[in-house]
């Protein structure tokens, strides 16, 4: 039977880290196992992915896909989610429901360019919306429940920035003249 004062790790369970560059008697002194001279023997080397001038693997492999810089970023909300919010009284049915109301209810996350309503699920509550977009099926389902959808024109963030830049430039020109 083992006693508490006899408990030890298994042989080889703990291995001391080799301390390199600590004199010739340590076995890893002088060059510390790095060889002599050259970039890799120095500290702070960062040549990951470099293959000696050969075309690196990450450049040899064919690329796939496309990122559209002009794509609109909508927060997508389904009809089923809206019905759940109405049932739990987290969303007020009176008045117009817009991006701010949906964000406050916790369903419209993100969406720099507004909210888009999609037709997944069923909606029985009479609601009126003021949103950036709605699918044709969602619009039909909302109107069938007695509600309404008003689509608003949302200016993308990139266009807003460009317009602001142009207005500042025009103001400077006017000030010079």
Taking only the tens place, the pLDDT of each residue in 100-137 is 889 888 888 888 888 999 999 998 888 899 999 999 99
Domains detected in the chain: 75-157 (3.100.10.10)
**CA 139 – CA 145 distance, rounded (Å):** 10
HSE value, Cβ hemisphere, 13 Å, CA-based, for 11: 0
- Which residues 6+ apart lie within 8 Å of 85 measured at CB? 91, 105, 107
Distances in Å between the alpha carbon of 118 and those of 11, 48, 141? 63, 45, 10
Average pLDDT over residues 56-64: 92
Could you tell me how far CA 9 lies from the centroid of its own chain? Answer: 45
Question: Does the reported pTM lie above 0.85?
Answer: no
> Does the pLDDT of residue 69 top 90, yes or no?
no
Binned at pLDDT 50, 70 and 90, residue 157 comes out as low
């Amino acid at each position: 039977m083992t006693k508490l004062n006899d408990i030890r790790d298994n042989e080889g369970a703990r291995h001391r880290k080799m301390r390199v560059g600590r004199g010739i008697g340590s076995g890893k002194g002088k060059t510390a196992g790095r060889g002599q001279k050259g970039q890799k023997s120095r500290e702070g080397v960062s040549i990951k992915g470099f293959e000696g001038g050969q075309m690196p693997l990450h450049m040899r492999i064919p690329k796939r896909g496309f990122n559209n810089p002009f794509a609109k970023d909508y927060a997508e909300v389904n009809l089923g989610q809206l019905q759940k919010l109405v049932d739990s009284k987290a969303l007020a049915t009176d008045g117009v429901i817009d991006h701010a109301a949906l964000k406050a209810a916790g369903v419209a996350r993100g969406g720099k360019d507004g909210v888009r309503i999609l037709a997944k699920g069923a909606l029985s509550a009479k609601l009126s919306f003021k949103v950036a977009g709605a699918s044709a099926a969602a619009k039909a389902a909302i109107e069938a429940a007695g509600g309404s959808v008003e689509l608003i024109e949302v200016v993308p963030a990139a266009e807003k920035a460009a317009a602001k830049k142009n207005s500042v430039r025009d103001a400077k020109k006017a000030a010079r003249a």
